[in-house]
Amino acid sequence: MSAIAYVTDSKMLELHRLNNHKTMNFWRLSSNISFSDFGKDDLVFFLSKDKEHRKKKEKGIVGFGRVVSISAASIRSMWDRYGIYNGYRSLSEFKEAIYKVSKDKRLPGKISAFYLKDVTFFQPVYLSECGMKISNNVESYIYLKDEEVVMKLFDLAKDSSDLWSDLSDNRKAIESEKLLYALFAAHESIGDITDSEKGYRKAKKELKAFMENEDGFEFVRASQNELYRLGRQSVDLVFYHDKNTDERLIIGQAQLYKYYLGKYLGKDAAIRFLTQDKDETIEYLMNALL
C-alpha cells in the first residue's frame, strides 16, 4: 500500500476546496505515467506551499485523495475532459499554472495526471508531528512508506477541521480512508490464500456472483479471492471458501488480518469474517478465535 505527499499549487487546492469537489484531476508536469510502486487505490496527500509551519517552515498537508487512474494527454485534452476539475476556472488559467512551473518556460506537448476520488480537506497537519522529518526544500513529492506515520496523519487530520466542510462528514471520510488504508496494507503483508491460476478464476467467478446479491462489497486491492465492505469503524471481510479449501489456512488468514489491523488501528476497528458460501462453521471459527 503506497502513499505520497505531493507539493501542490495552493490556488488549485482552494478551488477544489471551495467547490467541495470530491473528485479532481491532479495534474503533473511530467508526461510519464509509469510511477514506481504507486498506482490505483494508492493515496496522494497534498503538501501546500502556502501552509508552512510558522517556526519550522515545513510545508503542511491539507488533504488527500485516492487514485482512480493515471493518464497522460495534451493540456487541451485534459481540459476538455475534466474542465474545472483540473483546479482552474478557465483553460488560460490552467495553461498559466503549467507555464509557471515549467523549468524551460514552455508548455509541454503532454502532461500526466492522477484522477482522484474521495478527496478530503483539513487544516494543515505537519509530518514532523507524525514522527517523520522532511526537507523544507521538497519541490515535487516524497513517499510515505511508514504505515504508522500515515495512521498518525489520519488521526491528526480528524481533529483539524476544515471551515468549508461539514465536520462530522469530514471525520467519517477520514476514518473510512484510514480503515481502508490499514486493510490494504494488511493484505499487502499477508497475500492471498489461493495461489493457482485455476483457483483464482474459480474464486473470482463465485465472488462476483456473491457481490450481485450483497450490497457494498468490493475486491480487496490486489486480491482475487477476498472482498471487503466498510462501515465507519468496521469492516466485513469475505474469504473464498469451497470443499477443497484447507480450513486451517482460512482461519489462519483471519488471524493474520486481526493482527495487522490491530497493529495499525489498535481497538478502533471491528472486523467480521464471512465466506461467500456462508459456511456457518468456518465463519464461527474465524470470528470466535479473535
DSSP-derived 3-state class of residue 98: helix
Q: From CA 90, how far away is CA 238, in angstroms rounded?
A: 46
Q: From CA 219, how far away is CA 135, in angstroms rounded?
A: 37
209 vs 31, 212, 217, 240, 280, CA distance in Å? 39, 5, 11, 12, 19
Which segments of the chain does DSSP mark as H helices, in order? 10-18, 75-82, 91-101, 147-158, 167-190, 197-213, 247-265, 280-288
User: What is the pLDDT tens value at each position of the chain, 290 positions in all?
Assistant: 789 999 998 889 999 999 989 999 999 888 877 777 788 899 999 998 776 666 677 899 999 999 999 999 999 999 999 999 999 999 999 999 999 888 888 899 999 999 999 999 999 999 999 999 888 777 788 999 999 999 999 999 988 766 555 556 778 889 889 999 999 999 999 988 865 666 788 888 999 999 999 999 999 988 888 999 988 678 999 999 988 888 888 999 999 999 999 888 887 668 999 999 999 999 999 998 65
- Cβ atoms of residues 126 and 58 within 8 Å: yes
User: For the CA atoms of 286, 261, 233, 168, what is the dihedral angle to 10 degrees?
Assistant: -170
* Domains present along the chain, CATH in parentheses: 3-165 (2.30.130.30), 186-288 (no CATH)
Amino acid residing at 151: M
**pLDDT tens-digit map of 43-97:** 999 998 776 666 677 899 999 999 999 999 999 999 999 999 999 999 999 999 9
- Cβ atoms of residues 87 and 22 within 8 Å: no
Q: From CA 181, how far away is CA 12, in angstroms rounded?
A: 25
Q: How many CA atoms lie within 13 A of 67 on its CB side?
A: 23
Q: From CA 245, how far away is CA 247, in angstroms rounded?
A: 6
Comparing C-alpha atoms, which of 193, 232, 236 is closest to residue 214? 236
